[in-house]
Structure 1
């Protein structure tokens, strides 16, 4: 057994440790699925269906439309949409035209969107009617040549373009673009290993918004890692997808992976516990790629035991740390266990996964490195690997790692060290090769020189029966430098019954004194990103 890779002894049966990754572009993966399964539903959205052949036809029409608007290889096309079939079509259509897709959060306001459009140099913006007021203001300073606009109801006409309405206006209607362009775009040669597929903007490991340059090869490798690791059955899986498509988890790990696997995607604009549970039963869903907030909603839904969830064979959680209490409560209620993964935008995004055979969970556990992926723990100051059990910075290397940051060579140099991506995440590896996420390096609280990991304190507080959600941050203290403060969302039935001192006392018997929160503030909700990550910086500013 390799000393460098102790996780291989836990490797799932019949799963290769290495792959001969095909040199394919993302549109080629969709083309393959459409040829093999032309009539299989690719996307189901609000009960409207789009087959693989229809999706591929729409992709080609959109690509031809972009080319008629002057888009050439390497141009950037920004997509500012909520989850909808048009997002999928615009993404693959832009890629087919040789463009680079710039996904923009639908939560962005004018200033945020303007920054992304200007930094990326996008030429076209695809958006929705309800987002148009923000989009029109944001493009004033950007070099946007055309805005393509889709209506909320356009998805109903994607399989019958002849019946689609023809709205007038100064912008390009999405359906009109599809209808007037035959599915025959000019073929654009793509070098998957060199040509970019996405510019995904992230705060990254150094804090400032920047575009991660992800190639077609990066993305296809990431997809294949999940396909092989979970032994996905080509043309058979059914997935519920509510993670935002503008986030790399929804964009590539969910949408991209499961289209490549010729699966059926039940798409939602956003998570709704009742509608998602109904969809699981109605469509016999087999894969549930969740985020912690979705699992928290599920375990707190009083009717969950009345739903038949037996069709789901893969329950996953990613995009943010999963509280230990949530994992065990979900297993208690459903009998199923959640496979937890870890990654980041710079890695397309996957780095580790928990094998389905691993049915136990420990705080912070994120599994073992994916296929063809290496993860190691480094002492940041000495830049050397540390032994098992010692906390350090998690670093990774593999074929899914980005080329770098868009137009930011100095920032790129900062996050690579001897071929390793420095993730800015703290964690450790145990003696069996299982990795554990501890916290973000920048979120560590230093109390009189002692290090406090917010997640450790949060895990204890989450075990209190009154606590629904919690976030811990460091606040200034004259004597200690910093002390922990907890922001707590209480369960409805406990509001007004639990006091600050109750939770502080609860922690005192479960951790060292310096780790115990010195203050607890009760809030109605925690600030989060669209993907469910807690925005600690906003809490620090309060």
Structure 2
């Protein structure tokens, strides 16, 4: 299974002109991109923080970003940071995140990615497992850290306020009127260091020597088996994936692009495709100050700052599509979008492209691969329902899902495995889980997929989400695709729950486009599915709900939560007859 020839990579013939199958990957660490952009384009705007009022938006040039991250690095070293030490970052998309990350890398440290909404056991586990010496947190979330600090190795917490980099007048007014109410004050605790202290003083004289295979990021993920694990991403992994995305977006112009960063940086997709790709091509990184994702605020920022690239996920594009007066926003500056995290419904893709004139394509990635491994060509051939083809320097195969030892042929369904320079080194402190997913240089993704004759890949479902109904296998995703075709369906998620009669049964949760009689809609959906699916694939129960629980950050349906809810309900309620 290791011999790979040109004939076994049929996808190469679908690469767009100018996309090399073997692009040169820079032989420097991640922060080498910042040094390069600051030297070539010092006056180009590196970051814009879009605030609640246009007069208070803040801009930073590449020269300024380089200087601030230098000072952050120098202050970390003066406080005793050693090469390889971990530093946790728990921030939303604000300039402080970018400055801290590049400062940590310049100082030879490792960024530990922490979702700022984590608390309690989730937060405690990551901080204990990764053992960071320092943490960078937002003041309004400090109390969550304070609860677990006694059980960690953290020596100091660098606390930033949301308004630390507001323009002076706005910073003053916010400090007077809203800071205390919003929790944006520095806690008077001995371990607390104000963020602004870390960007003062002398610049770093010389970055710490870092090898390409040195660790750059610990990205905690449920991974392929569900338990939280730290994917170890090296500088080589990240630089490779940045390069792969840079060549895939064939018309990127260095120093001229504007990337709308809605995907959170604490998620590896936002880290690579928004934050690091921006720096690599000296683009302007547009960050919008908002609580979570707000479609209208995003549309307003896009109309004002004219982004050219907009990475995201299906629920993000869907929310913009569904703004009642979306046509009043000029979104025509957007040229290219790569969608990840879950399947991209054709209706969402078509409507967004009509609104913007952009090309919106589906891609695929996972935390263990930095994350991008597949994408549809931006301007070339694409296939409905496909995650696209492997990006340059990447191999992918379909193997039998039982043992993973037999390679399958075109259109045969099995587990997708991946090999490439973006694949992680392993899981932090977890050799057993590492051995389970990294075998003979191949990453076993846990995703059930197929490859067609042209080398385009199609995800059928997660291996763990596959449902067994009386010995027949059903993938929830194929049922969801049918539900999304119904005009009254806004969102849908399908799960399998245990059944005394069939072993397992399908339950569909549906968010309707508008109100109406739930009973009538259930009957309509059942008939709709019955006309398009084999009888055993038609959900036994439909639930009309107001929302579908999703992951924080890159929104993806939390099937586990729905499954738990339905399992409890299933024991108390009879199955509906289809």
Q: How does 1:302-381 map onto structure 2 within 5 Å?
A: 302-358=324-380, 360-363=382-385, 365-381=386-402
Answer yes or no: is 1:254 the counterpart of 2:258: no
Q: How does 1:79-90 map onto structure 2 within 5 Å?
A: 79-90=89-100
Match of 1:21? Answer: 25
Stretch of structure 1 that moved more, 337-346 or 308-317 = 308-317
Residue 360 of structure 1 and its aligned partner are, at CA, apart by: 4.9
Separation in 1 of the partners of 2:174 and 2:324?
Answer: 42
Separation in 1 of the partners of 2:204 and 2:136?
Answer: 21
Stretch of structure 1 that moved more, 99-108 or 488-497 = 488-497
Separation in 2 of the partners of 1:516 and 1:315?
Answer: 33
Residue 157 of structure 1 and its aligned partner are, at CA, apart by: 5.8
Separation in 2 of the partners of 1:167 and 1:476?
Answer: 50
Residue 57 of structure 1 and its aligned partner are, at CA, apart by: 0.7
CA spacing shift, 1:175–1:495, aligned 2, 3 Å: farther
Q: Which runs of 5+ in 2 are unaligned?
A: 51-56, 176-184, 566-578
Answer yes or no: is 1:506 the counterpart of 2:525: no
Answer yes or no: is 1:211 the counterpart of 2:230: yes
Q: How many residues matched?
A: 539
Residue 276 of structure 1 and its aligned partner are, at CA, apart by: 2.1
Separation in 2 of the partners of 1:503 and 1:455?
Answer: 16
Residue 497 of structure 1 and its aligned partner are, at CA, apart by: 7.3
Q: How does 1:419-434 map onto structure 2 within 5 Å?
A: 419-434=441-456
Aligned to 2:36, the other structure's residue is in SS state helix
Match of 2:309? Answer: 287
The equivalent position to 1:227 in structure 2, one of 223, 246, 269, is: 246
Residue 56 of structure 1 and its aligned partner are, at CA, apart by: 0.7
Residue 158 of structure 1 and its aligned partner are, at CA, apart by: 9.6
Coordinate RMSD, CA, aligned: 2.2
The equivalent position to 2:561 in structure 1, one of 520, 538, 542, is: 538
Per-residue CA distance 1:461-507 (angstroms, 9 max, x = gap)? 11111111111000111121001100111123446574322211111
Per-residue CA distance 1:126-163 (angstroms, 9 max, x = gap)? 10111011011021211110011001101226999999
Separation in 2 of the partners of 1:160 and 1:77?
Answer: 30
Match of 2:486? Answer: 464
Residue 59 of structure 1 and its aligned partner are, at CA, apart by: 0.3
Residue 518 of structure 1 and its aligned partner are, at CA, apart by: 0.2
Aligned to 1:381, the other structure's residue is in SS state coil
Residue 76 of structure 1 and its aligned partner are, at CA, apart by: 0.5
Give the TM-score normalised by structure 2.
0.89
Q: How does 1:189-208 map onto structure 2 within 5 Å?
A: 189-192=209-212, 194-208=213-227
Match of 2:180? Answer: none
Residue 69 of structure 1 and its aligned partner are, at CA, apart by: 1.8
CA spacing shift, 1:100–1:116, aligned 2, 3 Å: same
Per-residue CA distance 1:398-436 (angstroms, 9 max, x = gap)? 111111010111111110222210000111111111111
The equivalent position to 2:154 in structure 1, one of 144, 152, 157, is: 144
Residue 452 of structure 1 and its aligned partner are, at CA, apart by: 0.6
Per-residue CA distance 1:155-210 (angstroms, 9 max, x = gap)? 2269999999996722100012212x311256311001x21000000011122111
Match of 2:569? Answer: none
CA contact (8 A) 1:378 1:386 kept: yes
Separation in 2 of the partners of 1:405 and 1:157?
Answer: 41
Residue 20 of structure 1 and its aligned partner are, at CA, apart by: 2.5
Per-residue CA distance 1:55-91 (angstroms, 9 max, x = gap)? 1111011111111221110110001112111011111
Match of 2:202? Answer: 182
Q: Which runs of 5+ in 1 are unaligned?
A: none
CA contact (8 A) 1:43 1:50 kept: yes
Separation in 2 of the partners of 1:32 and 1:237?
Answer: 16
Residue 29 of structure 1 and its aligned partner are, at CA, apart by: 1.0
Per-residue CA distance 1:86-136 (angstroms, 9 max, x = gap)? 011111111111111001001211221110000001111110111011011
Residue 299 of structure 1 and its aligned partner are, at CA, apart by: 1.7
Stretch of structure 1 that moved more, 468-477 or 277-286 = 277-286
Separation in 1 of the partners of 2:439 and 2:355?
Answer: 44
Give the TM-score normalised by structure 1.
0.95
Aligned to 1:93, the other structure's residue is in SS state helix
Answer yes or no: is 1:385 the counterpart of 2:404: no
CA contact (8 A) 2:219 2:367 kept: yes
Residue 449 of structure 1 and its aligned partner are, at CA, apart by: 0.8
Residue 2 of structure 1 and its aligned partner are, at CA, apart by: 3.1
The equivalent position to 1:242 in structure 2, one of 235, 239, 262, is: 262
Residue 333 of structure 1 and its aligned partner are, at CA, apart by: 4.3
The equivalent position to 1:515 in structure 2, one of 518, 523, 537, is: 537
Separation in 1 of the partners of 2:316 and 2:509?
Answer: 20
Q: How does 1:151-170 map onto structure 2 within 5 Å?
A: 151-156=161-166, 169-170=188-189
The equivalent position to 2:75 in structure 1, one of 55, 65, 70, is: 65
CA spacing shift, 1:532–1:161, aligned 2, 3 Å: closer
Separation in 1 of the partners of 2:65 and 2:41?
Answer: 12
Separation in 1 of the partners of 2:342 and 2:450?
Answer: 17
Residue 337 of structure 1 and its aligned partner are, at CA, apart by: 3.6
Answer yes or no: is 1:5 the counterpart of 2:9: yes
CA contact (8 A) 2:314 2:344 kept: yes
